[in-house]
């Protein structure tokens, strides 16, 4: 497998792990890859959403165990007040009949109630279950991050090792080519045998095969 194809596989793997478009960049440091993975990996994002849902469920269940406050207000505008007919003696008009309006033109009332459940087994059972789910989702997020980062780091180091091996092979090929040039001159002058020159050619072909 040549250097180009191996890097293509690495790029495809990164795209698969990230499940998104990767930025155009020729080289990545390990910190770059890990940071990009933690920020963009679809598996990690999904687990974090589930963790958030678990937190909201716990929050909702917890609210049912808290004191419940209910407030209400009422405003009445009495356009027509009821009229009461009374003897004039009550209003300072002896011998006459008087009328009195009963009530207020405006009436406002406010009510406030507070309810606190002393003990509801179903609420506390639900709260315990919600907390357990929340903790489970948090562990899943941690586990998902560790697994995804582990896969990326392993492949990153494999590619790094492969690159170093390629550099060593290329250097050996360059040295072999120089030796072939020298041995060709020595063979022509009779300083070495044909088999020595052929041995260098075989080494060159092996190196080229490994780099192909």
Q: What average pLDDT does the segment 30-52 reach?
A: 87
Query: Which is more confidently placed, 144 or 79?
Result: 144
* Integer Rg of the chain from CA: 44
Contact 155, 182 (CB under 8 A): no
Per residue in 188-202, pLDDT (tens digit) is 888 889 998 899 999
What pLDDT score does 142 carry? 92
Backbone φ and ψ of 142, nearest 5°: -60, -45
Q: What average pLDDT does the segment 48-60 reach?
A: 83
Tell me the Ramachandran region of residue 19: left when phi exceeds 0, alpha when psi lies from -120 to 50, beta otherwise: left
Distance of CA 56 to the CA centre of its chain: 16
Please determine, for residue 118, whether its predicted confidence score (pLDDT) is greater than 60: no
What is the average pLDDT score of the chain?
A: 75
């Amino acid at each position: 497998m040549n250097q180009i194809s191996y890097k293509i596989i690495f790029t495809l793997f990164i795209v698969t792990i990230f499940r998104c478009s990767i930025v155009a960049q020729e080289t990545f440091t390990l910190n770059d890859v890990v940071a990009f993975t933690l920020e963009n990996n679809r598996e990690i994002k999904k687990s974090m959403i589930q963790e958030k849902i678990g937190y909201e469920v716990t929050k909702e269940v917890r609210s049912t165990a808290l004191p419940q406050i209910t407030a209400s207000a009422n405003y009445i505008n009495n356009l027509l007040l009821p009229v009461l007919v009374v003897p004039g003696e009550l209003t300072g008009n002896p011998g006459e009949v008087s009328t009195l309006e009963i009530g207020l033109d405006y009436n406002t009332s406010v009510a406030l109630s507070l309810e606190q459940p002393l003990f509801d087994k179903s609420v506390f059972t639900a709260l315990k279950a919600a907390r357990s789910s929340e903790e489970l989702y948090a562990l899943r997020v941690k586990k998902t991050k560790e697994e995804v980062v582990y896969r990326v780091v392993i492949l990153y180091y494999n590619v790094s090792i492969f690159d170093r091996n390629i550099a060593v092979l290329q250097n050996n090929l360059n040295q072999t080519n120089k030796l072939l040039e020298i041995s060709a001159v020595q063979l022509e002058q009779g300083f070495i045998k044909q088999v020595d020159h052929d041995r260098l050619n075989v080494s060159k072909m092996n190196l080229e095969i490994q780099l192909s």
